[in-house]
Chains A and B, each alone.
Chain A
Amino acid sequence: MTAELVREVLAQVPDPEIPVITIEDLGILRDVAVEGTHVVVTVTPTYSGCPAMDEIRADIVSALAAAGVDDVEVRTVLAPAWTTDWMSEDGKRKLREFGIAPPGQLLLQIRPRVECPQCGSSDTEEMARFASTSCKSMWRCRSCREPFDHFKAH
Protein backbone atom coordinates (compact mmCIF):
# COMPACT_ATOMS: atom_id res chain seq x y z
CA MET A 1 0.00 0.00 0.00
CA THR A 2 1.32 3.46 -0.91
CA ALA A 3 1.76 6.29 1.56
CA GLU A 4 -1.10 8.17 -0.16
CA LEU A 5 -3.50 5.27 0.36
CA VAL A 6 -2.43 4.91 4.01
CA ARG A 7 -3.06 8.61 4.49
CA GLU A 8 -6.52 8.26 2.94
CA VAL A 9 -7.36 5.54 5.47
CA LEU A 10 -6.00 7.56 8.39
CA ALA A 11 -7.83 10.70 7.23
CA GLN A 12 -11.04 8.88 8.22
CA VAL A 13 -9.95 8.09 11.80
CA PRO A 14 -12.05 10.24 14.16
CA ASP A 15 -10.72 11.98 17.25
CA PRO A 16 -11.95 9.87 20.19
CA GLU A 17 -12.97 12.91 22.30
CA ILE A 18 -14.51 15.01 19.52
CA PRO A 19 -15.55 12.46 16.89
CA VAL A 20 -16.85 15.05 14.39
CA ILE A 21 -13.26 15.81 13.41
CA THR A 22 -10.57 13.42 12.21
CA ILE A 23 -6.99 13.17 13.39
CA GLU A 24 -6.01 14.77 10.08
CA ASP A 25 -8.38 17.74 10.65
CA LEU A 26 -6.81 18.13 14.09
CA GLY A 27 -3.33 18.38 12.58
CA ILE A 28 -1.75 15.67 14.73
CA LEU A 29 -0.99 13.28 11.85
CA ARG A 30 2.55 14.28 11.03
CA ASP A 31 3.98 11.72 8.63
CA VAL A 32 3.34 8.44 6.87
CA ALA A 33 6.23 6.34 5.57
CA VAL A 34 5.95 2.99 3.81
CA GLU A 35 9.02 0.76 3.81
CA GLY A 36 8.04 -2.40 1.96
CA THR A 37 5.22 -3.87 4.03
CA HIS A 38 6.23 -1.86 7.11
CA VAL A 39 4.18 1.29 7.69
CA VAL A 40 5.41 4.01 10.06
CA VAL A 41 2.84 6.57 11.16
CA THR A 42 4.12 9.60 13.06
CA VAL A 43 1.75 11.54 15.31
CA THR A 44 2.19 14.41 17.76
CA PRO A 45 0.19 14.92 20.95
CA THR A 46 -2.01 17.97 21.48
CA TYR A 47 -1.35 18.47 25.21
CA SER A 48 1.38 16.60 27.12
CA GLY A 49 -1.19 14.73 29.19
CA CYS A 50 -3.88 14.20 26.56
CA PRO A 51 -5.38 10.80 27.51
CA ALA A 52 -6.81 10.40 24.00
CA MET A 53 -3.34 9.73 22.58
CA ASP A 54 -3.31 6.07 23.65
CA GLU A 55 -6.76 5.65 22.09
CA ILE A 56 -5.63 7.37 18.89
CA ARG A 57 -2.61 5.07 18.54
CA ALA A 58 -4.87 2.04 18.94
CA ASP A 59 -7.39 3.47 16.43
CA ILE A 60 -4.63 4.01 13.85
CA VAL A 61 -3.50 0.41 14.15
CA SER A 62 -7.03 -1.00 13.90
CA ALA A 63 -8.02 1.28 10.97
CA LEU A 64 -4.98 0.10 9.01
CA ALA A 65 -5.56 -3.53 10.01
CA ALA A 66 -9.10 -3.24 8.59
CA ALA A 67 -7.52 -1.97 5.35
CA GLY A 68 -5.21 -4.99 5.25
CA VAL A 69 -2.07 -3.41 6.70
CA ASP A 70 -0.77 -5.41 9.65
CA ASP A 71 2.81 -4.25 10.10
CA VAL A 72 2.22 -0.80 11.61
CA GLU A 73 4.45 1.22 13.89
CA VAL A 74 3.09 4.41 15.47
CA ARG A 75 5.76 6.88 16.49
CA THR A 76 5.18 9.92 18.69
CA VAL A 77 7.20 13.10 18.24
CA LEU A 78 6.97 16.18 20.45
CA ALA A 79 8.82 18.72 18.31
CA PRO A 80 7.82 20.94 16.70
CA ALA A 81 5.06 21.33 19.27
CA TRP A 82 1.50 20.94 18.00
CA THR A 83 -0.51 24.10 17.62
CA THR A 84 -4.17 24.69 16.78
CA ASP A 85 -2.90 26.69 13.79
CA TRP A 86 -2.40 23.26 12.15
CA MET A 87 -6.11 22.49 12.37
CA SER A 88 -7.72 22.43 8.90
CA GLU A 89 -10.36 25.01 7.92
CA ASP A 90 -12.67 22.08 7.28
CA GLY A 91 -12.02 20.87 10.82
CA LYS A 92 -12.84 24.30 12.26
CA ARG A 93 -16.11 24.39 10.30
CA LYS A 94 -17.05 20.91 11.60
CA LEU A 95 -16.30 21.99 15.19
CA ARG A 96 -18.54 25.07 14.82
CA GLU A 97 -21.38 22.96 13.41
CA PHE A 98 -20.97 20.56 16.34
CA GLY A 99 -21.40 23.48 18.79
CA ILE A 100 -17.75 24.02 19.74
CA ALA A 101 -16.29 27.45 18.98
CA PRO A 102 -13.11 26.74 16.97
CA PRO A 103 -9.72 28.18 17.87
CA GLY A 104 -8.67 31.51 16.40
CA GLN A 105 -5.19 32.26 15.09
CA LEU A 106 -2.63 31.69 17.80
CA LEU A 107 -1.31 34.99 19.09
CA LEU A 108 -0.17 33.62 22.45
CA GLN A 109 -3.37 35.11 23.79
CA ILE A 110 -5.11 33.60 26.78
CA ARG A 111 -8.24 35.77 26.61
CA PRO A 112 -9.44 35.68 22.98
CA ARG A 113 -12.62 37.02 21.35
CA VAL A 114 -14.85 34.08 20.59
CA GLU A 115 -17.99 33.87 18.45
CA CYS A 116 -20.96 31.90 19.74
CA PRO A 117 -21.27 28.70 17.64
CA GLN A 118 -25.08 28.83 18.09
CA CYS A 119 -25.99 32.37 17.00
CA GLY A 120 -22.72 33.87 15.76
CA SER A 121 -22.72 36.73 18.28
CA SER A 122 -19.37 38.08 19.48
CA ASP A 123 -20.94 39.16 22.77
CA THR A 124 -19.58 36.18 24.69
CA GLU A 125 -17.73 35.66 27.96
CA GLU A 126 -15.45 33.03 29.42
CA MET A 127 -16.86 31.17 32.42
CA ALA A 128 -13.86 28.94 33.11
CA ARG A 129 -10.42 28.64 31.56
CA PHE A 130 -10.58 24.84 31.75
CA ALA A 131 -13.27 22.40 30.62
CA SER A 132 -14.09 18.73 30.03
CA THR A 133 -10.92 18.13 28.00
CA SER A 134 -7.46 19.76 28.09
CA CYS A 135 -8.07 21.54 24.80
CA LYS A 136 -11.29 23.39 25.68
CA SER A 137 -12.59 26.22 27.89
CA MET A 138 -16.16 27.01 29.01
CA TRP A 139 -18.01 30.04 27.61
CA ARG A 140 -21.47 31.53 27.43
CA CYS A 141 -23.20 33.79 24.93
CA ARG A 142 -24.78 36.99 26.23
CA SER A 143 -27.01 37.23 23.13
CA CYS A 144 -28.65 33.80 22.94
CA ARG A 145 -27.78 32.89 26.57
CA GLU A 146 -26.44 29.47 25.56
CA PRO A 147 -23.34 27.99 27.18
CA PHE A 148 -20.75 26.45 24.85
CA ASP A 149 -17.25 24.98 24.67
CA HIS A 150 -14.38 26.78 23.00
CA PHE A 151 -11.39 24.92 21.52
CA LYS A 152 -8.54 27.04 22.89
CA ALA A 153 -5.93 28.50 20.55
CA HIS A 154 -2.80 26.68 21.67
Chain B
Amino acid sequence: MRPPHEDARSAHVPAGTPDGADPDVAAYCLRLGDDALVLAQRLCEWAARSPQLEDDVALMNLALDLLGQSRSLLTLAGEREGAGRDEDDLAFLRDEPDFVNAQLMELENGDFGRTMARQLLVSAYALPMWQALVASADADLAGVAGKAVKEVAYHLDHARSWVVRLGDGTEESHRRMQQGLDEVWPYASELFESDALLDRLVERGVAADPVALQLIWRATVEDALAEATLSVPETDWRPTGGRGGTHTESFGYLLAELQHLHRSHPGVTW
Protein backbone atom coordinates (compact mmCIF):
# COMPACT_ATOMS: atom_id res chain seq x y z
CA MET B 1 0.00 0.00 0.00
CA ARG B 2 1.35 3.40 -0.96
CA PRO B 3 1.11 6.35 1.45
CA PRO B 4 -2.24 8.10 1.25
CA HIS B 5 -2.58 11.62 -0.03
CA GLU B 6 -4.07 13.94 2.54
CA ASP B 7 -6.86 15.21 0.36
CA ALA B 8 -7.25 12.01 -1.63
CA ARG B 9 -10.83 11.25 -0.69
CA SER B 10 -12.34 14.57 -1.63
CA ALA B 11 -10.36 14.58 -4.86
CA HIS B 12 -11.85 11.25 -5.98
CA VAL B 13 -15.47 11.49 -4.94
CA PRO B 14 -17.57 12.47 -7.93
CA ALA B 15 -19.65 15.61 -7.48
CA GLY B 16 -23.26 15.04 -6.63
CA THR B 17 -22.82 11.92 -4.46
CA PRO B 18 -24.52 11.91 -1.04
CA ASP B 19 -22.60 13.00 2.07
CA GLY B 20 -20.08 10.39 3.12
CA ALA B 21 -20.64 8.36 -0.04
CA ASP B 22 -17.62 6.94 -1.78
CA PRO B 23 -18.48 4.63 -4.68
CA ASP B 24 -14.95 3.21 -5.00
CA VAL B 25 -14.70 2.22 -1.34
CA ALA B 26 -18.25 0.85 -1.51
CA ALA B 27 -17.30 -1.36 -4.47
CA TYR B 28 -14.13 -2.59 -2.74
CA CYS B 29 -15.95 -3.41 0.51
CA LEU B 30 -18.59 -5.25 -1.50
CA ARG B 31 -15.90 -7.49 -3.04
CA LEU B 32 -14.36 -8.26 0.34
CA GLY B 33 -17.77 -8.70 1.96
CA ASP B 34 -18.99 -11.07 -0.76
CA ASP B 35 -15.76 -13.09 -0.53
CA ALA B 36 -16.28 -13.60 3.21
CA LEU B 37 -20.03 -14.22 2.98
CA VAL B 38 -19.84 -16.80 0.20
CA LEU B 39 -16.95 -18.72 1.75
CA ALA B 40 -18.75 -18.73 5.12
CA GLN B 41 -21.83 -20.22 3.46
CA ARG B 42 -19.76 -22.92 1.75
CA LEU B 43 -17.97 -23.84 4.97
CA CYS B 44 -21.32 -24.18 6.74
CA GLU B 45 -22.14 -27.07 4.42
CA TRP B 46 -19.66 -29.08 6.51
CA ALA B 47 -21.85 -28.80 9.63
CA ALA B 48 -22.35 -32.33 10.99
CA ARG B 49 -20.38 -33.79 8.04
CA SER B 50 -16.75 -33.27 9.08
CA PRO B 51 -14.34 -36.18 9.57
CA GLN B 52 -14.40 -35.63 13.35
CA LEU B 53 -16.27 -33.51 15.86
CA GLU B 54 -13.33 -31.16 16.48
CA ASP B 55 -13.23 -30.25 12.80
CA ASP B 56 -16.94 -29.69 12.65
CA VAL B 57 -16.41 -27.16 15.43
CA ALA B 58 -13.30 -25.70 13.79
CA LEU B 59 -14.94 -25.17 10.39
CA MET B 60 -18.01 -23.57 11.97
CA ASN B 61 -15.70 -21.24 13.93
CA LEU B 62 -13.98 -20.24 10.69
CA ALA B 63 -17.36 -19.69 9.04
CA LEU B 64 -18.59 -17.61 11.98
CA ASP B 65 -15.52 -15.36 11.83
CA LEU B 66 -16.02 -14.90 8.09
CA LEU B 67 -19.73 -14.21 8.53
CA GLY B 68 -18.93 -11.56 11.13
CA GLN B 69 -16.38 -9.97 8.82
CA SER B 70 -18.87 -9.98 5.95
CA ARG B 71 -21.52 -8.28 8.12
CA SER B 72 -19.13 -5.43 8.94
CA LEU B 73 -17.97 -5.17 5.33
CA LEU B 74 -21.45 -5.21 3.78
CA THR B 75 -22.65 -2.65 6.34
CA LEU B 76 -19.71 -0.45 5.38
CA ALA B 77 -20.35 -1.03 1.67
CA GLY B 78 -23.93 0.14 2.18
CA GLU B 79 -22.83 3.24 4.08
CA ARG B 80 -20.25 4.22 1.45
CA GLU B 81 -22.77 3.57 -1.32
CA GLY B 82 -25.14 6.03 0.36
CA ALA B 83 -28.32 4.53 -1.09
CA GLY B 84 -29.72 3.29 2.21
CA ARG B 85 -28.97 -0.42 1.73
CA ASP B 86 -27.98 -2.36 4.86
CA GLU B 87 -26.16 -5.68 5.30
CA ASP B 88 -29.35 -7.71 4.86
CA ASP B 89 -30.35 -5.89 1.66
CA LEU B 90 -26.94 -6.62 0.21
CA ALA B 91 -26.71 -10.24 1.37
CA PHE B 92 -30.25 -11.37 0.63
CA LEU B 93 -31.72 -9.14 -2.07
CA ARG B 94 -29.10 -9.19 -4.79
CA ASP B 95 -29.14 -11.69 -7.64
CA GLU B 96 -26.28 -13.85 -8.87
CA PRO B 97 -24.74 -11.35 -11.37
CA ASP B 98 -24.65 -8.69 -8.61
CA PHE B 99 -22.29 -10.74 -6.44
CA VAL B 100 -18.64 -9.79 -6.92
CA ASN B 101 -16.86 -12.49 -4.91
CA ALA B 102 -13.88 -14.26 -6.44
CA GLN B 103 -14.95 -17.61 -7.90
CA LEU B 104 -12.50 -19.44 -5.57
CA MET B 105 -14.82 -18.68 -2.63
CA GLU B 106 -17.85 -20.36 -4.19
CA LEU B 107 -16.16 -23.57 -5.41
CA GLU B 108 -17.89 -26.68 -4.13
CA ASN B 109 -16.31 -28.20 -1.05
CA GLY B 110 -15.42 -31.56 -2.59
CA ASP B 111 -13.68 -33.76 -0.03
CA PHE B 112 -12.04 -32.50 3.15
CA GLY B 113 -8.66 -32.20 1.43
CA ARG B 114 -10.05 -29.97 -1.29
CA THR B 115 -11.79 -27.79 1.30
CA MET B 116 -8.51 -27.40 3.19
CA ALA B 117 -6.61 -26.63 -0.03
CA ARG B 118 -9.11 -23.85 -0.80
CA GLN B 119 -8.84 -22.57 2.77
CA LEU B 120 -5.05 -22.48 2.59
CA LEU B 121 -5.10 -20.50 -0.67
CA VAL B 122 -7.72 -18.07 0.66
CA SER B 123 -6.19 -17.58 4.12
CA ALA B 124 -2.64 -17.12 2.78
CA TYR B 125 -4.11 -14.24 0.74
CA ALA B 126 -6.43 -12.84 3.42
CA LEU B 127 -3.82 -12.58 6.19
CA PRO B 128 -1.39 -10.20 4.41
CA MET B 129 -4.37 -8.33 2.94
CA TRP B 130 -5.83 -7.59 6.40
CA GLN B 131 -2.36 -6.82 7.73
CA ALA B 132 -2.06 -4.14 5.05
CA LEU B 133 -5.61 -2.86 5.57
CA VAL B 134 -4.98 -2.22 9.28
CA ALA B 135 -3.29 0.92 7.94
CA SER B 136 -5.98 1.70 5.34
CA ALA B 137 -6.72 5.37 4.72
CA ASP B 138 -10.39 4.47 5.29
CA ALA B 139 -10.56 4.39 9.10
CA ASP B 140 -13.68 2.20 9.22
CA LEU B 141 -12.16 -0.38 6.89
CA ALA B 142 -9.02 -0.29 9.06
CA GLY B 143 -11.25 -1.03 12.06
CA VAL B 144 -12.68 -4.13 10.36
CA ALA B 145 -9.12 -5.18 9.47
CA GLY B 146 -7.98 -4.88 13.08
CA LYS B 147 -10.51 -7.57 14.03
CA ALA B 148 -10.11 -9.76 10.95
CA VAL B 149 -6.33 -9.96 11.02
CA LYS B 150 -6.32 -11.81 14.34
CA GLU B 151 -9.04 -14.22 13.23
CA VAL B 152 -7.53 -15.05 9.86
CA ALA B 153 -4.16 -15.87 11.47
CA TYR B 154 -5.93 -18.84 13.08
CA HIS B 155 -7.57 -19.81 9.79
CA LEU B 156 -4.22 -19.95 8.01
CA ASP B 157 -2.62 -21.93 10.80
CA HIS B 158 -5.50 -24.43 10.79
CA ALA B 159 -5.62 -24.91 7.02
CA ARG B 160 -1.85 -25.20 6.76
CA SER B 161 -1.63 -27.86 9.46
CA TRP B 162 -4.28 -29.99 7.72
CA VAL B 163 -2.69 -29.60 4.28
CA VAL B 164 0.64 -30.72 5.76
CA ARG B 165 -0.91 -33.61 7.69
CA LEU B 166 -2.83 -34.94 4.69
CA GLY B 167 -0.16 -34.18 2.10
CA ASP B 168 2.59 -35.79 4.16
CA GLY B 169 0.29 -38.59 5.34
CA THR B 170 -0.66 -41.85 3.65
CA GLU B 171 -0.44 -42.59 -0.04
CA GLU B 172 -4.21 -42.14 -0.32
CA SER B 173 -4.34 -38.86 1.67
CA HIS B 174 -1.41 -37.49 -0.36
CA ARG B 175 -3.10 -38.37 -3.64
CA ARG B 176 -6.40 -36.77 -2.66
CA MET B 177 -4.75 -33.68 -1.14
CA GLN B 178 -2.82 -33.11 -4.37
CA GLN B 179 -5.96 -33.66 -6.42
CA GLY B 180 -7.96 -31.16 -4.36
CA LEU B 181 -5.16 -28.63 -4.62
CA ASP B 182 -4.90 -29.09 -8.39
CA GLU B 183 -8.65 -28.48 -8.74
CA VAL B 184 -8.83 -25.22 -6.80
CA TRP B 185 -5.41 -23.79 -7.68
CA PRO B 186 -6.25 -22.08 -11.01
CA TYR B 187 -9.00 -20.04 -9.35
CA ALA B 188 -6.53 -18.32 -6.97
CA SER B 189 -5.19 -16.15 -9.80
CA GLU B 190 -8.36 -14.06 -9.74
CA LEU B 191 -7.46 -12.85 -6.21
CA PHE B 192 -4.48 -10.94 -7.59
CA GLU B 193 -6.03 -9.31 -10.64
CA SER B 194 -5.65 -5.55 -10.89
CA ASP B 195 -8.21 -3.24 -12.41
CA ALA B 196 -8.94 0.48 -12.54
CA LEU B 197 -10.82 0.39 -9.21
CA LEU B 198 -7.91 -1.23 -7.36
CA ASP B 199 -5.40 1.09 -9.02
CA ARG B 200 -7.32 4.12 -7.74
CA LEU B 201 -7.76 2.70 -4.24
CA VAL B 202 -4.13 1.57 -3.90
CA GLU B 203 -3.09 5.06 -4.98
CA ARG B 204 -5.32 6.52 -2.25
CA GLY B 205 -3.90 4.16 0.38
CA VAL B 206 -7.31 2.52 0.91
CA ALA B 207 -6.78 -0.93 -0.65
CA ALA B 208 -4.03 -3.56 -0.45
CA ASP B 209 -1.77 -3.79 -3.51
CA PRO B 210 -2.54 -7.10 -5.27
CA VAL B 211 0.98 -7.36 -6.70
CA ALA B 212 2.55 -7.24 -3.24
CA LEU B 213 -0.09 -9.64 -1.91
CA GLN B 214 0.69 -12.21 -4.58
CA LEU B 215 4.40 -12.24 -3.69
CA ILE B 216 3.66 -12.88 -0.01
CA TRP B 217 0.94 -15.40 -0.86
CA ARG B 218 3.18 -17.37 -3.15
CA ALA B 219 5.93 -17.65 -0.52
CA THR B 220 3.45 -18.74 2.19
CA VAL B 221 1.78 -21.33 0.00
CA GLU B 222 4.98 -22.77 -1.45
CA ASP B 223 6.42 -23.14 2.05
CA ALA B 224 3.33 -25.08 3.16
CA LEU B 225 3.27 -27.27 0.04
CA ALA B 226 6.97 -28.13 0.42
CA GLU B 227 6.41 -29.29 3.98
CA ALA B 228 3.33 -31.21 2.81
CA THR B 229 5.42 -32.93 0.08
CA LEU B 230 2.90 -31.62 -2.48
CA SER B 231 3.73 -30.23 -5.92
CA VAL B 232 2.94 -26.66 -6.88
CA PRO B 233 0.38 -27.12 -9.67
CA GLU B 234 1.46 -25.94 -13.09
CA THR B 235 -1.27 -24.59 -15.28
CA ASP B 236 -1.89 -21.67 -17.59
CA TRP B 237 -5.64 -21.83 -17.11
CA ARG B 238 -6.84 -18.73 -15.25
CA PRO B 239 -10.59 -18.79 -14.73
CA THR B 240 -11.91 -15.31 -13.99
CA GLY B 241 -15.03 -13.18 -13.91
CA GLY B 242 -16.27 -13.30 -10.31
CA ARG B 243 -15.48 -9.62 -9.69
CA GLY B 244 -17.66 -8.81 -12.69
CA GLY B 245 -20.57 -11.00 -11.58
CA THR B 246 -19.83 -14.13 -13.61
CA HIS B 247 -20.01 -17.25 -11.47
CA THR B 248 -19.62 -21.00 -11.62
CA GLU B 249 -22.58 -23.31 -12.13
CA SER B 250 -22.98 -24.25 -8.47
CA PHE B 251 -23.18 -20.66 -7.23
CA GLY B 252 -26.89 -20.20 -7.91
CA TYR B 253 -27.72 -23.15 -5.65
CA LEU B 254 -25.58 -21.71 -2.86
CA LEU B 255 -27.35 -18.38 -3.21
CA ALA B 256 -30.79 -20.00 -3.21
CA GLU B 257 -30.06 -21.68 0.12
CA LEU B 258 -28.57 -18.48 1.54
CA GLN B 259 -31.43 -16.23 0.49
CA HIS B 260 -34.63 -18.24 0.40
CA LEU B 261 -35.78 -17.63 3.99
CA HIS B 262 -35.36 -13.87 3.74
CA ARG B 263 -37.06 -13.74 0.35
CA SER B 264 -39.92 -16.07 1.30
CA HIS B 265 -40.59 -14.17 4.52
CA PRO B 266 -39.55 -10.53 3.92
CA GLY B 267 -38.47 -8.77 7.10
CA VAL B 268 -38.32 -11.99 9.12
CA THR B 269 -36.27 -11.82 12.34
CA TRP B 270 -35.31 -14.35 15.01
Interface residues of A (CB under 8 A from B): 45, 47-51, 77-82, 108, 110, 127-132, 134, 138, 154
The residue in chain B whose Cβ has the minimal distance to the Cβ of A152 is B154
Given the complex, which residues of B lie within 8 Å of A134, measured CB to CB? 61, 64-65
Inter-chain residue pair count (beta carbon < 8 A): 71
List 9 tightest A-B contacts by C-beta distance, closest first: A49-B68, A48-B68, A79-B143, A81-B146, A78-B143, A49-B64, A128-B54, A130-B61, A130-B58
Given the complex, which residues of B lie within 8 Å of A77, measured CB to CB? 143
Given the complex, which residues of B lie within 8 Å of A132, measured CB to CB? 57
Given the complex, which residues of A lie within 8 Å of B154, measured CB to CB? 110, 129-130
**Distance between Cα atoms of A132 and B147 in the complex (Å):** 20
Given the complex, which residues of B lie within 8 Å of A129, measured CB to CB? 58, 154, 157-158
Given the complex, which residues of B lie within 8 Å of A80, measured CB to CB? 146
**Distance between Cα atoms of A81 and B134 in the complex (Å):** 10
Name 14 interchain pairs, CB-CB below 8 A, sorted by A.
A47-B68, A48-B72, A48-B144, A49-B68, A49-B71, A50-B64, A50-B68, A77-B143, A78-B144, A81-B146, A129-B58, A130-B61, A130-B62, A131-B61
Cβ–Cβ contact A47 & B142, under 8 A: no
Q: Mark B139-182, 1 if CB is under 8 A from A, else 0.
A: 11011101110110110011000000000000000000000000
B69 at interface (Cβ–Cβ under 8 A)? Answer: yes
Given the complex, which residues of A lie within 8 Å of B225, measured CB to CB? none
Cβ–Cβ contact B147 & A81, under 8 A: yes
Please give 18 more A-B residue pairs, beta carbons under 8 A apart, in addition to A50-B64, A78-B143: A47-B68, A48-B68, A48-B148, A49-B67, A51-B64, A77-B143, A79-B142, A81-B146, A81-B150, A82-B147, A108-B153, A110-B154, A129-B157, A129-B158, A130-B61, A130-B154, A131-B61, A134-B61
* A99 shortest CB reach to chain B, Å: 18
Cβ–Cβ contact B153 & A110, under 8 A: yes
**Distance between Cα atoms of A77 and B143 in the complex (Å):** 8
The residue in chain A whose Cβ has the minimal distance to the Cβ of B66 is A49
Given the complex, which residues of A lie within 8 Å of B157, measured CB to CB? 110, 129
Interface residues on B, range: 20 to 34
The residue in chain B whose Cβ has the minimal distance to the Cβ of A132 is B57
Identify which of A45, A48, A50 gathers the most chain B CB atoms within 10 Å of its CB.
A48
Cβ–Cβ contact B147 & A78, under 8 A: yes
Given contacts A79-B142, A130-B57, A131-B57, contact A154 B68 (CB under 8 A): no
Given the complex, which residues of A lie within 8 Å of B140, measured CB to CB? 78
Cβ–Cβ contact A78 & B158, under 8 A: no
Given the complex, which residues of A lie within 8 Å of B69, measured CB to CB? 48-49
Choose one: B61, B62, B147; the contact of A45 (CB below 8 Å). B147
Choose one: B54, B57, B71, B153; the contact of A48 (CB below 8 Å). B71
Given the complex, which residues of B lie within 8 Å of A130, measured CB to CB? 54, 57-58, 60-62, 154, 158
* B154 shortest CB reach to chain A, Å: 6
Given the complex, which residues of B lie within 8 Å of A48, measured CB to CB? 65, 68-69, 71-72, 144, 147-148, 151
* A79 shortest CB reach to chain B, Å: 4
Given the complex, which residues of B lie within 8 Å of A45, measured CB to CB? 68, 147
* B72 shortest CB reach to chain A, Å: 6
Identify which of B62, B139, B147 gathers the most chain A CB atoms within 10 Å of its CB.
B147
Cβ–Cβ contact B71 & A79, under 8 A: no
**Distance between Cα atoms of A110 and B144 in the complex (Å):** 21
Given the complex, which residues of A lie within 8 Å of B151, measured CB to CB? 47-48
**Distance between Cα atoms of A73 and B57 in the complex (Å):** 34
Identify which of A77, A78, A131, A134 gathers the most chain B CB atoms within 10 Å of its CB.
A78
* B234 shortest CB reach to chain A, Å: 32
